[in-house]
């Protein structure tokens, strides 16, 4: 990770197909295309890859989340249970659809704790967004069971977990809808792009329409199509889809390389006393985009990240101090600051985000270090990294 490490002739060929036709728009212009439909091809190949009935490619992972919420009928005043450890886009999508984020604790998977979700449910709760953070899975079977018991919609944010699975089933396919991101630093990149996947034909129809101003896409002449619903413009271009299509065909090679590199580092660190690893419910299904481990306390984690960087071990994150991925630094959310009033501002009983307390999550994230796994490490680079990590981490356990 990320896929841009492996740009090559495959991506160039797909992009040139588009440029040679002059058709950058994903819809229409049939006669000019020479049979090239990159977005449609990407959607079909992703469906086959993860064994899902429907896929709609859109402009970003954020667009996918917003579209999935709308397609599942989640909107004004609905409460949506979310984790405090995710990219802020998950929360922005909920707010921008008019719904209310309700935070629940994470467990040692660094994803939603199934045992805490029920305590957050109220009569207004409509959905749960399970985020498969840093490439590995939540206890998604148990989360789905909670949702089924309480009649809640399950949406999976698998934006960081393309290629991962749980018990042989692809992440993103357990809920009513799943979302993926193909931004510049994802395993498969389109430059910018995202996807909504579902086995529900109504959810797919809604997503397909919502992401293109409500167009029903039923006719060969775009100007004569109907618009059954209001929507927005979350369309992906054929150029972006072309890059992603070539990348998607490399996914198995990418995952295998990541797993090899992650296993080598993990095996070299597992005998360090006092160091423990993130819980991964199904190791065989891990996409291996990150290796995440815990040190004894917050101070050790903070110092170790600094020392690792000083020793040339790049790509290590202490998310407790990160501005974008953990609630502790989300000052804009806590104060509900935005460029213009949002629907949540109209609610007299809106949550007090400034005073949320999530002690279990704090205790985990404050001790965790997540290291990005790269594709292009050579054997020599990997060996040097392992040696440096062993020397640094033994100081703090």
* Active-site residue (options: 38, 126, 176, 186): 186
Q: Tell me the backbone φ, ψ of residue 112, rounded to 5 degrees.
A: -50, 135
- Residues 374, 291: Cα–Cα separation, whole Å: 11
* 298 class by beta-carbon count within 10 Å (0-12 exposed, 13-18 middle, 19+ buried): middle
- Omega before 390 cis (within 30°)? no
Positive or negative, the CA dihedral 14, 18, 19, 20 is: positive
- Residues 198, 47: Cα–Cα separation, whole Å: 9
Positive or negative, the CA dihedral 154, 106, 58, 289 is: negative
CB 104 within 8 A of CB 117: yes
Query: Please, which residues bridge with residue 333 across strands?
Result: none
CB 357 within 8 A of CB 84: no
- DSSP H/E element including 12: helix 9-21
- Residues 306, 96: Cα–Cα separation, whole Å: 36
CB 83 within 8 A of CB 365: no
- Residues 272, 178: Cα–Cα separation, whole Å: 37
Q: How far is CA 182 from the centre of its chain?
A: 9
- Residues 199, 74: Cα–Cα separation, whole Å: 18
Query: Please, which residues bridge with residue 70 across strands?
Result: none
- 186 a catalytic residue: yes
Query: Please, which residues bridge with residue 153 across strands?
Result: 127
SS3 string of 181-236?
A: ECCCCCCCCCCCCEEEEECCHHHHHHHHHHCECCCCCCCCCHHHCCCCCCCCECCC
At 160 the three-state DSSP class reads coil
Q: Which residues are catalytic?
A: 186
């Amino acid at each position: 990770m990320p896929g841009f490490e492996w740009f090559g002739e495959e991506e160039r060929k797909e992009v040139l197909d588009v440029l040679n036709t002059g058709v950058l728009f994903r819809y229409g212009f049939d006669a000019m295309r020479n049979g090239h439909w990159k977005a449609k091809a990407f959607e079909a190949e992703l469906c086959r890859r993860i064994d899902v009935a429907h896929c709609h490619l859109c402009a970003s992972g954020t667009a996918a989340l917003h579209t999935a919420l709308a397609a599942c009928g989640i909107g004004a005043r609905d409460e949506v249970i979310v984790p405090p450890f995710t990219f802020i886009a998950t929360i922005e999508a909920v707010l921008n659809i008019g719904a209310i984020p309700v935070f629940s604790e994470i467990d040692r998977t660094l994803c939603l704790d199934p045992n805490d979700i029920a305590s957050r449910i109220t009569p207004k709760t409509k959905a749960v967004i399970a985020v498969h953070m840093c490439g590995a899975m939540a206890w998604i079977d148990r989360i789905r069971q909670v949702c089924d018991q309480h009649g809640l919609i399950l949406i999976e944010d698998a934006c960081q977990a393309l290629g991962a699975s749980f018990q042989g089933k692809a992440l993103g396919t357990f809920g009513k809808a799943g979302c993926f991101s193909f931004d510049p630093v994802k395993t498969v990149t389109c430059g910018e792009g995202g996807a909504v996947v579902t086995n529900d034909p109504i959810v797919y129809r809604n997503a397909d329409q919502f992401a293109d101003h409500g167009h029903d896409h039923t006719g060969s002449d775009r100007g004569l199509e109907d618009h059954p619903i209001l929507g927005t413009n979350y369309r992906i271009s054929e150029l972006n889809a072309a890059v992603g299509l070539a990348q998607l065909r490399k996914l198995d090679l990418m995952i295998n390389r990541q797993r090899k590199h992650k296993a080598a580092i993990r095996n070299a660190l597992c005998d360090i006393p006092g160091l423990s690893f993130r819980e991964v419910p199904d190791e065989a299904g891990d996409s291996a985009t990150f290796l995440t481990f815990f040190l004894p306390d917050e101070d050790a984690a903070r110092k170790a990240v600094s020392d690792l960087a000083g020793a040339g071990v790049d790509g290590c994150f202490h998310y407790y101090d990160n501005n974008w991925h953990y609630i502790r630094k989300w000052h804009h959310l806590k104060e509900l600051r935005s460029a213009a009033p949002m629907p949540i501002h109209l609610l007299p009983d809106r949550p007090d985000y400034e005073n949320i307390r999530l002690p279990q999550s704090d205790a985990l994230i404050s001790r965790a270090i997540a290291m990005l796994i790269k594709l292009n490490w050579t054997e020599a680079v990997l060996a040097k990294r392992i040696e440096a990590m062993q020397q640094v981490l033994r100081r703090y356990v």
